[in-house]
């Protein structure tokens, strides 16, 4: 096999511990894009014998959603991307919930003010709104006008002591080209004159994302930061903060956002973005990880199916594509179907159990061979086997199969009932009896079994109907045939 340049490339080694972090905000459901990023963080850390950290960034108190943090833990546990350090597990660099680190951020914000790299701002929300409206009318770049930057240090400190409300803003240098060195995108240059004096500490004492993320990544010794491309425009502010603090900046990668097939960004309005949806539909975690690993990355041997452990072994952040990968749900369903078929019947029965409540374990196991080749998600099993778990109800017209009179349909059901009543539902024997019945009456085989299937299941598409009778039993089979006959009256 011919080696690619990637395979020939010398393996990167680090003279420091590799530490990556997944840092979601508990402001809603777990986005599938969050899991994609967490997967890259986890894989890179584990490949390099490093640590994968979960940090909860809950400084936006107004947007927090109840149970959102628990959903984050559940999602990581379901996928197997279990962190080494987290609010739940603890660790050397905690606390790992930002709302519990406020004093740390306040200390570092004050340090920046003392250095002259940040300043107190006393502007009211009303003044800031008026400023934005004026800039909008004049078609100017919306930026803070630095009114409070002109206040002397002594006056600012006195106003703070007197209890006046304030925020702390970072001071952006004038006329400077700020270079962001992205591992995948290369060097990206920003003009400092186009960057706003970012608020670092809000009036309520909570930090903004920019201060908190830089302080936490440094104190938690994060070596590699992987985040979505929407944060690239914020990166020059982070470059400046690392410079102001005199800290070494971690390696950063801004991954491309996942795209819908029409190339639009995956969002709540487009596509299925919540991890819960994939869990509820019955996607297998290993299938989902296999699928996600192929978004923006390719196996050096061009494999499509491989265990996550193999991805971890081969993955390198340098190989991530900066072009937005298409999230093809049809392909994911296909891959999930393959993973389902590769399960043993016993394994698959255990996965199916939550989707078939009220169905006995033995019946689920017996049903597996009948549906295994037919389903792409676990939820589809509940739809296919709905006739087993509950009474069937359908419109009498459904029994009126094209090409058959009502009288012929009645004869089919009556004679089928007599055979079942006398001989039972043993598959091979019943199949022979039915085929003989069809031949003797010169009926169409497909039409007969369609009528019988509808009578038993209440639908036209089911698992093999004769084999399915063992799931409902002889008594229930006879009751359903009787019910079908009553619908023809």
In which residue are the tokens 């969050």 written? 34
Residue 265 lies in a domain: no
The CATH number linked to 158 is 3.40.50.620
Residue 190 lies in a domain: yes
Strands (E), 174-297: 177-182, 186-191, 199-201, 224-228, 251-255
Residue 114 lies in a domain: yes
pLDDT of residue 263: 80
Q: Are residues 72 and 164 in the same domain?
A: yes
Q: pLDDT at residue 184 above 80?
A: yes
Mind giving me the DSSP string for 387-444?
HHHS-----GGGG--TT--HHHHHHHHHHHHHHHHHH---HHHHHHHHHHHHHHHT--
The CATH number linked to 341 is 1.10.1160.10
Q: pLDDT over 90 for what percent of the chain?
A: 88
pLDDT of residue 391: 82
pLDDT tens, residue by residue, 32-43: 999 999 999 999
Residue 147 lies in a domain: yes
Give the CA distances from residue 173 to residues 50, 105, 116, 200, 356, in Å, rounded to whole numbers and listed in that order. 36, 22, 11, 16, 62
Mind giving me the DSSP string for 191-213?
EGGGS---EEE-TTSPBPHHHHH
167's enclosing H/E stretch is: strand 167-170
Calculate mean pLDDT across residues 182-199.
96
Q: Count other Cβ atoms within 10 Å, centred on residue 153.
A: 12
Q: pLDDT at residue 65 above 90?
A: no
Q: What is the average pLDDT value for the chain, to the nearest integer?
A: 94
Q: Are residues 44 and 176 in the same domain?
A: yes
Examine the fold and report which residue of 367, 387, 407 is the final residue of a domain before the chain moves on: 387
Q: Are residues 380 and 410 in the same domain?
A: no
Residue 269 lies in a domain: no
Examine the fold and report which residue of 337, 353, 387 is the final residue of a domain before the chain moves on: 387
Residue 366's domain comprises 275-387
Judge contact between 111 and 95, C-beta under 8 A.
no
Burial 322-353 (b: 16+ CB within 10 A, else e): eebbebbeeebbebbbebbeebeeeebbebbe
Where does residue 469 fall: left (phi above 0), alpha (psi -120 to 50 degrees), or beta otherwise? alpha
pLDDT of residue 13: 72
Q: Could you tell me the pLDDT band of residue 2, with boundaries at 50, 70 and 90? A: very low
Q: pLDDT at residue 269 above 70?
A: no
Q: pLDDT at residue 21 above 50?
A: yes
pLDDT of residue 271: 57
The CATH number linked to 435 is 1.10.10.350
pLDDT of residue 199: 98
pLDDT of residue 109: 98
Calculate mean pLDDT across residues 56-80.
93
Q: pLDDT at residue 257 above 80?
A: yes
Q: Are residues 229 and 372 in the same domain?
A: no
Q: pLDDT at residue 385 above 80?
A: yes
pLDDT of residue 78: 98
pLDDT of residue 7: 53
Give the CA distances from residue 153 to residues 103, 173, 196, 219, 352, in Å, rounded to whole numbers and listed in that order. 22, 18, 21, 28, 67
pLDDT tens, residue by residue, 412-471: 999 999 999 999 999 999 999 999 999 999 999 999 999 999 999 999 999 999 999 999
Q: pLDDT at residue 28 above 80?
A: yes
pLDDT of residue 1: 28
475's enclosing H/E stretch is: helix 465-487
By CB neighbour count within 10 A (0-12 exposed, 13-18 middle, 19+ buried), where does 120 fall? buried
Q: Are residues 37 and 175 in the same domain?
A: yes
pLDDT of residue 3: 35
Q: Are residues 305 and 216 in the same domain?
A: no
CA–CA separation, 96 and 72 (whole Å):
14
In the chain, how many domains are there?
A: 3
Q: Are residues 373 and 399 in the same domain?
A: no
pTM of the model: 0.90
Going by the DSSP 8-state scheme, the letter that residue 300 receives in this structure is T
Q: Are residues 240 and 287 in the same domain?
A: no
Examine the fold and report which residue of 255, 284, 318 is the final residue of a domain before the chain moves on: 255
Residue 249 lies in a domain: yes
| Terminal CA-CA length for the chain | 71
Active site residues: 268
Q: pLDDT over 70 for what percent of the chain?
A: 97
Residue 36 lies in a domain: yes
Q: Are residues 184 and 283 in the same domain?
A: no
Q: Are residues 200 and 302 in the same domain?
A: no
Q: Are residues 235 and 326 in the same domain?
A: no
Residue 1 lies in a domain: no
Q: pLDDT at residue 92 above 50?
A: yes
Q: Could you tell me the pLDDT band of residue 4, with boundaries at 50, 70 and 90? A: very low
CA–CA separation, 39 and 28 (whole Å):
19
Q: Are residues 303 and 338 in the same domain?
A: yes
259 beta partners: 265, 326
């Amino acid at each position: 096999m011919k080696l690619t340049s990637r395979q020939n490339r010398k393996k990167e080694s680090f003279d420091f511990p590799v530490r990556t972090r997944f840092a979601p905000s508990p402001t809603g459901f777990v986005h599938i894009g969050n899991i994609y990023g967490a997967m890259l963080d986890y894989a890179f850390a584990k490949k390099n014998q490093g640590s994968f950290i979960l940090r909860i960034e809950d400084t936006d108190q107004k947007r927090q959603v109840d149970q959102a943090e628990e959903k984050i833990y559940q999602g990581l546990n379901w996928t197997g991307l279990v962190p080494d350090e987290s609010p739940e597990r603890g660790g050397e660099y905690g606390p790992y919930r930002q709302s519990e680190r406020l004093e740390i951020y306040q200390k570092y914000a004050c340090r920046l003010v003392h250095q002259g790299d940040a300043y107190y701002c006393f502007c009211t929300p009303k003044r800031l709104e008026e400023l934005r409206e004026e800039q909008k009318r004049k078609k100017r770049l919306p930026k803070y006008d630095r009114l409070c930057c002109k206040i002397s240090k002594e006056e600012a400190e006195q106003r703070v002591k007197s209890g006046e409300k304030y925020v702390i803003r970072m001071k952006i240098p004038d006329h400077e080209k700020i270079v962001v060195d992205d591992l995948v995108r290369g060097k990206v240059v920003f003009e400092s004159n186009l960057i706003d004096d970012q608020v670092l500490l809000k009036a309520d004492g909570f930090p903004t994302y920019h201060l908190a993320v830089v302080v936490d990544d440094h104190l938690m010794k994060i070596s590699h930061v992987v985040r979505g491309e929407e944060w690239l425009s914020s990166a020059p502010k982070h470059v400046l903060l690392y410079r102001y603090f005199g800290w070494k900046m971690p390696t950063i990668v801004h991954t491309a956002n996942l795209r819908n097939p029409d190339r639009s960004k995956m969002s709540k309005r487009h596509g299925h973005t919540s991890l819960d949806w994939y869990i509820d539909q019955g996607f297998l975690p290993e299938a989902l990880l296999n699928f996600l690993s192929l978004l923006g990355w390719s196996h050096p041997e061009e494999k499509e199916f491989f265990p996550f452990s193999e991805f971890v072994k081969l993955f390198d952040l340098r190989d991530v594509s900066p072009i937005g990968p298409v999230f093809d749900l049809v392909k994911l369903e296909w891959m999930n179907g393959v993973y389902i078929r590769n399960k043993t019947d016993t394994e698959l029965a255990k996965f199916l159990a939550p989707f078939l409540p009220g169905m006995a374990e033995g019946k689920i196991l017996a049903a597996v061979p009948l549906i295994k080749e037919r389903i792409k998600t676990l939820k589809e099993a509940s739809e296919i086997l709905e006739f087993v778990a509950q009474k069937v109800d359908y419109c009498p017209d459904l029994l009126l199969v094209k090409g058959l009179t009502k009288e012929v349909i009645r004869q089919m059901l009556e004679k089928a009932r007599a055979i079942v009543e006398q001989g039972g539902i043993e598959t091979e024997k019943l199949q022979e009896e039915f085929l003989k019945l069809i031949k003797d009456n010169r009926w169409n085989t497909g039409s007969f079994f369609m009528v019988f299937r509808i009578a038993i299941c209440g639908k036209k598409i089911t698992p093999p109907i004769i084999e399915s009778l063992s799931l409902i039993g002889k008594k229930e089979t006879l009751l359903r045939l009787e019910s079908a006959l009553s619908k023809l009256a």
